[in-house]
Amino acid sequence: MQSESQARSILAIDRYQSDDIRRLTSAVDNVAFALADVKDRAALKTAAGTIDSVDVLLCVSGILGSPLPLLDRPTSEPDPSEDIMNVFTVNVEGTFNGVHAFQDKIRHGGKIMLMSSTMASMETATHTLNPAYSIAKAGLNMLGRKLAVELKEREIDVIMMSPGVVRTEMNNGKGDISPQQSVEGILRELSRTGTSGMFLRYDGQGWPW
């Protein structure tokens, strides 16, 4: 895995172009942006057509859904079934759409990272927080395992990665580590070999399924 300074080019894809992305693409010559929603396979395919090849594909799409339990939920909150499907569509189907769109661009011996979460773990699921998110991330892990087997002949590694509890907007600025610490750890893990099909934390710790 190459750092931003080492990479020949970086293509960032999002459903809208934020101010942060605008500043980044203006300041760094080798960073480009493509507009696409992970639910829009045609738009993703168009984005894939703008590049020749991919060394590392990072799939980081995700939404949280309601934090409340599935059964004991006020009617003012999202319907549990709709909540599960909405989160699953973005976190699992959206991730697959990204892999599918770029599959022919990933070089032999390349890597795919699927952004998972420690909340995907069935072994440590002892709370009711964010049930749709946990369900979807568990599904994402199985997607990653299947892709790892399917892409083995092309020597493409597929890794499921938990970034840690990061102080980001998604977590309302709360967390154990900074985005910089998380990214540095993820880059270290992506440089390792022999980890395809594994569920890892940013610090290299294997996490229970």
Interatomic CA distance for residues 52 and 132, integer angstroms: 36
Least confident of 22-31, 44-53, 133-142, 146-155: 22-31
Q: Which CATH superfamily does the domain covering 54-201 fall into?
A: NAD(P)-binding Rossmann-like Domain (3.40.50.720)
Mean pLDDT score, 41-53: 97
Whole-number pLDDT of residue 170 = 72
Per-residue pLDDT at 5 exceeds 60: no
Q: Which residues pair with 33 in a beta bridge?
A: 12
**What would the two tokens of residue 190 be?**
């992506």
Task: Give the pLDDT band (50/70/90) at residue 3.
Answer: very low
- Neighbour tally for 186: CB within 10 Å: 24
Whole-number pLDDT of residue 123 = 95
Q: Which residues pair with 13 in a beta bridge?
A: 34
What is the percent of the chain with per-residue pLDDT over 70, rounded to a whole number? 96
Q: For 121-150, write each residue's pLDDT tens digit.
A: 999 999 999 999 999 999 999 999 999 999
Task: Give the pLDDT band (50/70/90) at residue 169.
Answer: confident
> Beta strand 54-59 with 31-35: parallel, antiparallel or unpaired?
unpaired
Q: DSSP label at 37? A: -
Contacts of 56 (CB under 8 A, 6+ apart): 1, 2, 110, 111, 112, 113, 190
Contact 54, 102 (CB under 8 A): yes
User: SS3 for 107?
Assistant: strand
Please name the amino acid found at residue 130. Answer: N
pTM of the model: 0.90
Contacts of 156 (CB under 8 A, 6+ apart): 106, 108, 109, 110, 111, 112, 196
* Higher pLDDT among residues 192 and 1, named by residue: 192
Whole-number pLDDT of residue 182 = 93
Expressed in angstroms, the distance from the first to the final Cα of the chain is 25
Contact 106, 156 (CB under 8 A): yes
Mean pLDDT score, 194-200: 97
Task: Give the pLDDT band (50/70/90) at residue 176.
Answer: confident
